[in-house]
């Protein structure tokens, strides 16, 4: 369990660093992330465990079709709480784009 939390924190740190330095290489919020997934632009999909089940299934299906890495993020960490507050879903993009 501890290793899983460390991995979660690392991927969330990567997301927040990209958000701070290269905002055009990130997306967050259900609609923006879904659009980026449909365009094949998402390298890593971050899904909060607080997201509704039907939306999780929809995003995971899209991600699998595009070969996207999927990470489920708990709300047990500060980073997980931040993702929940950002709309429960985030993405690290393969390339910069405006969504």
Tell me the pLDDT band of 1, cut-offs 50, 70 and 90.
Answer: confident
The string of pLDDT tens digits covering residues 15-49 is: 999 999 999 999 999 999 999 999 999 999 999 99
Phi, psi dihedral angles at 42 (to 5 degrees): -90, 120
Q: Among candidates 53, 37, 54, 40, which has minimal Cα distance to 90?
A: 37
CB–CB of 24/88 below 8 Å? no
> What is the value of pTM for the model shown?
0.95
């Amino acid at each position: 369990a501890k290793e899983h939390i460390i991995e979660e924190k690392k991927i969330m740190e990567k997301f927040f660093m990209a958000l701070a330095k290269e905002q055009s290489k990130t997306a967050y919020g259900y609609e923006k992330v879904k659009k980026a997934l449909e365009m094949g632009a998402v390298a890593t999909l971050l899904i909060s465990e607080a997201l509704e089940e039907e939306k999780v299934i929809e995003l995971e299906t899209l991600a699998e079709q595009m070969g996207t890495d999927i990470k489920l993020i708990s709300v047990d960490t500060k980073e997980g709480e931040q993702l929940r507050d950002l709309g429960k879903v985030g993405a690290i993009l393969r390339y910069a784009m405006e969504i």
